[in-house]
Structure 1
């Protein structure tokens, strides 16, 4: 586990969304859909077997939220329905793709249900999380890693203000490493 802090907020509201650390029983089907949908998982190693995802959900829901720093459910702020997940946590030093000598930079990642694609949800959720982090944490580089073939994700990274700095091979595909200073999200 990282020795460096990540975002501690348990809830982060935005105009249409609520980012929450707590995973609820009602999130089960949405969580399973995120992990088993072939289109959602196209650039994430493919769909996972449903039985594996169900076991993972059961393990996560019984774990303490504190054991999952930086992981959030993206929920509709009126229905509390799971739309996706967002992670703003430390990138493992064992993973390729770093911009500092010591590694463990903050890394942004998100996955949305297909029904939420194209509505600006990922942009809104990422902006809310990055603004909260900028208010809480010292300035530092934030990473975003995506398959180079994932043009939609690269466009969103650019819209958020991330710039590509390198590519590397991981998960049998070329990945693009993008970075932005956390301070640029401070309001």
Structure 2
């Protein structure tokens, strides 16, 4: 199921952002203790961001957004991004 972010998703977002498996090619993982201090109690909600929920637990996120305006070739198009927790695939 896709839904908006909730307070119960905070730990999963920290796990997602700190995961070396997820962020190897996305600038690298961030330290969990830094994320604990920076991430709000309820992860930010914004249009086009959805939590992927399986049986009441966040296993990933889907991002649907328009490309930056400085990319003229992308005008009129939409980016679809996704990140899943390694444990969702039996890897963590």
Q: TM-score, normalised by structure 2?
A: 0.79
Whole-angstrom CA distance in 2 between matches of 1:45 and 1:62: 20
Aligned residue among 61, 75, 89 for 1:117: 89
Structure 2 partner of 1:3 = none
Q: TM-score, normalised by structure 1?
A: 0.42
1:72 and 2:35 correspond: no
1:27 and 2:5 correspond: no
**1:71-129: per-residue Cα shift (whole Å, max 9, x none)?**
011111xx2100001101111123x5x644xx2621000000002238xxxxxxxxxxx
Structure 1 partner of 2:27 = 45
SS in 1 for 2:11: helix
Whole-angstrom CA distance in 2 between matches of 1:62 and 1:36: 15
Structure label with greater radius of gyration: 1
Unaligned runs of 5+ in 1: 1-17, 119-187
- Structure number with the bigger relative contact order (C-alpha 8 A, sep ≥ 6) is 2
Unaligned runs of 5+ in 2: none
Q: How many residues align?
A: 90
